[in-house]
Amino acid sequence: MRQIFLDTETTGLSPESGDRIIEIGCVEMVNRRLSGRTLHFYLNPERANHEDAVKVHGLTDEFLADKPLFAAVANEFLEFVAGAEIVIHNASFDVGFLDAELRRLAHPGFTSFVGQVTDSLAMARETYPGKANSLDALCKRLEVDNSSRSLHGALLDAGLLAEVYIRMTRGQNSLVIDVGDDDAAEVASVAVDLSALDLLVLVADADDEAAHVALLAGLDQASGGKTLWRRMEPAAVAMA
């Protein structure tokens, strides 16, 4: 499974009003592991930044003046994201800007080039309803170090989002065994005689038990207190 964590910085908030993308950052993950591949561009938007936008990302008109146009990097960008699942925090914002840039080049919309777009903000709101779910808030809640984030930066934010996503979906696929289509495959049972085997039993010591408790606490925190063993504890105590 190939995923691209993507973020953009822009001159303002409205592509319909002519605001443009000035930075794109992409971080690749394959099978829930960072591959080490990234893509990063600063772009000349051919227009001035809004003052409030510069306060957020710190990218001045002077800094961007000699950077390439989106048209010059479009093919490289589209090749990098092609066919992947794209994970974006508040996806409608970034996709709206990407669609506007692609329209200027007579290209179809962004989603036509990728496998799917996943909005991590929508995921966070479902997982943590009623709580702040900005990237900074999620970093704090999930203990992701964002101390280097004094200003927004597309590549930095894409990397933080990748770490947040992994923690927010911790164990999502780790306990799932894919046996394919039940109707199309038959699973054969083979009896194995284990009587001749001398099985070694390792008993957990105090350190092992403490590490296990800490792991369960981390999973419980990451799920917002929704883990099943917490719900089962009162019943287990009552039965005892």
DSSP 8-state code for residue 136: H
- Whether the CA torsion 5, 85, 32, 133 is positive or negative: it is positive
CB atoms within 10 A of CB 1: 10
Positions annotated as catalytic residues are 152
Dihedral of CA atoms 117, 157, 27, 167 in degrees, nearest 10, equals -80
Task: Measure the CA–CA gap between 170 and 94, rounded to whole angstroms.
Answer: 25
Cβ distance 20 to 46 under 8 Å?
yes
Q: Which of 197, 163, 154 is nearest to 39 (CA)?
A: 154
CB neighbour list of residue 102: distance below 8 Å, 6 or more residues apart? 74, 108, 109, 110
